[in-house]
Structure 1
Amino acid sequence: MSASGHALSLQGLTRRYGSFVAVDDVSLKVERGQFLTLLGPSGSGKTTILMCIAGFVAPNAGAVLLDGRDITALPPEKRDFGMVFQGYALFPHMTVAENVAFPLRVRKLGAAEREAKVRAALDLVQLERFADRLPRQLSGGQQQRVALARALVFEPNLLLLDEPLSALDKKLRAELQEELKALHRRIGRTFVNVTHDQEEALSLSDRVAILNHGKLVQEGAPTALYDRPRTRFVADFLGKSNFLQCTVQSVGPDSLHLVAGATRLVQRVAPGEPHPPHNMPLLLSLRPEKIALLTEDEPADNMVEGRITTWSYLGAGFALSVATRDLGVLRVTLPSWRAPIAPAEGLPIRLGWSAEASVPVAEDAD
């Protein structure tokens, strides 16, 4: 299969159902060959956006552009997009080869060309040996691969994925995430994926667009979104986070000196970031894995004492809840391999983190 990505652009996309606004003025660009994931909770508008891209739902306002050409009014069959649905939507009475060949029959390709393309598509998803089987004779993961082969066999302009891995168990889902990412790299096409699974979005995507209540909240590379969330919602939805309510006490050239009750904290300010004024309330997001367990005399930019209230063993690590005097209950993640303590409820511990570990975030609008 030849590799050719296409650029997609959404301009002010809006979709209403009566008084309910499912998609609210969303503008977004997907570069050629990029893997973009639309991520958000149920009802955030991500699937409606995907249906607008596919042409199954018409927006009330805004435009969908492919390589700069407005395709908003173009019917789905004229867009030449491949699509993989959550339930795979395979024809149960057709063999694997017949399912994959179906889009080519619709396009009236000759038998020889059809057979060659089906063989190439099945080879792409490593299912050549299963060409004569029926869908019911396949595992969930194999059915998902058939759906992918069928969506790619006619070399579509764009591949749209509507939560394609959600029906699989956790282990198989992780394996197929790796396969899907490798497949994207091999064929170089533009993928737009929808999911509510944060780990899947971080693992698969070049870029992630986070949606809430129909609005685009933040968009960017997975590492940037995770390490530099702009709002409480993004920090809380994309992984786990502690939120520290502080007040600015003084401002230095590259750092803020903060107070939370009687606890003093230091927050590094990145170059170019505005410095908040004295006495301004500030909300910090601090990831659990960025908090360290300190020995009795070990220094750190920020230090607090507390007691473990609850803890869980997660295999690779311990998840601790630590009650502190001024910062409330902090969630802390420690590697379990050679952990410096044996967690126990009521155990007093010292915690520390660097001035770069936390990030200021905005409170969410009502």
Structure 2
Amino acid sequence: MSHALALEGLSKRYGSFTAVERVSLDVEQGAFLTLLGPSGSGKTTILMCIAGFVEPSEGAIRLDGRDITPLPPERRDFGMVFQGYALFPHMTVAENVAFPLRVRKMGAAAREAKVRGALDLVQLSAFGDRLPRQLSGGQQQRVALARALVFDPALLLLDEPLSALDKKLRAELQDELKALHRRVGRTFVNVTHDQEEALSLSDRVAILNHGKLIQQGAPAELYERPATRFVADFLGKSNFLQGVVREHLPEGFAIGAGATRVVQRGGVVPALGAPVLLSLRPEKMSLLAEGEAAENVVGGTIASWSYLGAGYALNVETPDFGMLRVTLPTWNAPIAPREGLAVRLGWSASASVPVLDDPA
């Protein structure tokens, strides 16, 4: 059975330093939530508070409505997967997985059946007699997952579980972890600073910065409709168009920046003369052929470019918005990029989204 988790006004202070400030979150039963943020954002502190290893300064942690804040870690019944796996080097794979069951004084027959089931779950049933040093990093991570799940925990907590793996293996383990979550149906709470990992794995993502919850939601919602400059810039890459509202239109408004007019469709319509910041993803822009029209058009010059295999990344210097980044699929790029080439950038009025600027 999966369980629902709630954080209510969670804060953690160390002397005058506030690591976490009044964070409130609801995690639905069976959800995969990722706490995402840069180093020092408070995500690991929150995870350690949930686990019971760190005592909050304020607030409450509830499981299925029950306040578990005072409970020690061993009474919370949560599985935990650490960044460095934390396997016992002198124990075999099967003994490592069985360890939580021994602590709970489960009988030998039931324990062996549970271990077999857990190793089957992570596709390591043939590796029970091996020692951790005889396994690859990815296999060790699977053992850690099996050990965390073998006792049917109320929650599974993951502290940057894939960060020690190389990029290719990390991508493979992401797929496996997502499939594992579907199979076991447990509530997972994951911590990472890797944006792609958060988008790929999660049902919900909570973005943190300086100990505060900035925005939470489904991955697509956060990527397509970031609320602030920080979220737009941290979750992927974004261009920012700063201007002043010059017109109200039937479905939106137009901003001006120097001699450039940009139409925005969607979002709250600000007052005339109000400053506005728009976030525009690089992949939502295109290079226009001669004579080709678009709702928004800006001219510029390619300052630099990179070949990325599947696409080109162009840095285009523009008169009124400075440097804009554009990504194009390689297979149908309308030009062969070169520095100094004059280009026209085009995008739809609904491609951008108004965001709040971050405090200075």
Question: Do the two structures share a fold, i.e. TM-score over 0.5?
Answer: yes
2:272 to 272, 278, 291: 278
In 1, Cα distance between equivalents of 2:254 and 2:142: 54
Q: Kindly report which structure 2 residues correspond to 1:1-366, keeping only aligned pairs within 5 A, or say none.
A: 4-270=1-267, 274-366=268-360
In 1, Cα distance between equivalents of 2:334 and 2:347: 16
In 1, Cα distance between equivalents of 2:288 and 2:27: 44
In 1, Cα distance between equivalents of 2:142 and 2:295: 50
Alignment size in residue pairs? 360
Q: What does the per-residue CA deviation read over 1:321-365, in whole Å, with 9 as the maximum and x for residues that have no partner? A: 001111111000000113211110011111100000001111112
TM, length-normalised to structure 2: 0.99
Q: Which aligned segments of 4 or more residues in structure 1 are displaced greater than 2 angstroms?
A: none
Q: Secondary structure at the match of 2:2?
A: coil
In 1, Cα distance between equivalents of 2:339 and 2:250: 41
In 1, Cα distance between equivalents of 2:76 and 2:50: 9
In 2, Cα distance between equivalents of 1:228 and 1:360: 8
Q: What does the per-residue CA deviation read over 1:189-234, in whole Å, with 9 as the maximum and x for residues that have no partner? A: 0000000000000000000000000000000000000010010100
In 2, Cα distance between equivalents of 1:222 and 1:105: 39
Q: Secondary structure at the match of 2:331?
A: coil
One-letter amino acid matched to 1:318: Y
Q: Secondary structure at the match of 1:322?
A: strand
In 1, Cα distance between equivalents of 2:332 and 2:261: 31
Q: What does the per-residue CA deviation read over 1:294-337, in whole Å, with 9 as the maximum and x for residues that have no partner? A: 11111111001111110001111100000111111100000011
In 2, Cα distance between equivalents of 1:243 and 1:266: 14
In 2, Cα distance between equivalents of 1:123 and 1:337: 42
User: What are the ranges of 5 or more consecutive residues in structure 2 without an aligned counterpart?
Assistant: none
Give the alignment's Cα RMSD to 1 decimal: 0.7
Q: Give how far 1:255 is off.
A: 1.3
Q: Secondary structure at the match of 1:329?
A: strand
Q: Percent identity at matched positions?
A: 77
One-letter amino acid matched to 1:152: L
In 1, Cα distance between equivalents of 2:59 and 2:234: 27
One-letter amino acid matched to 1:154: F
In 1, Cα distance between equivalents of 2:20 and 2:359: 17
Alignment check: 8 A CA contact 2:289 2:334 kept: no
In 2, Cα distance between equivalents of 1:133 and 1:153: 18
Q: Give how far 1:253 is off.
A: 2.5
In 2, Cα distance between equivalents of 1:340 and 1:303: 16
One-letter amino acid matched to 2:198: A
User: What are the ranges of 5 or more consecutive residues in structure 1 without an aligned counterpart?
Assistant: none
One-letter amino acid matched to 1:282: V
Q: What does the per-residue CA deviation read over 1:143-164, in whole Å, with 9 as the maximum and x for residues that have no partner? A: 0000000000000000000000
In 2, Cα distance between equivalents of 1:20 and 1:327: 38
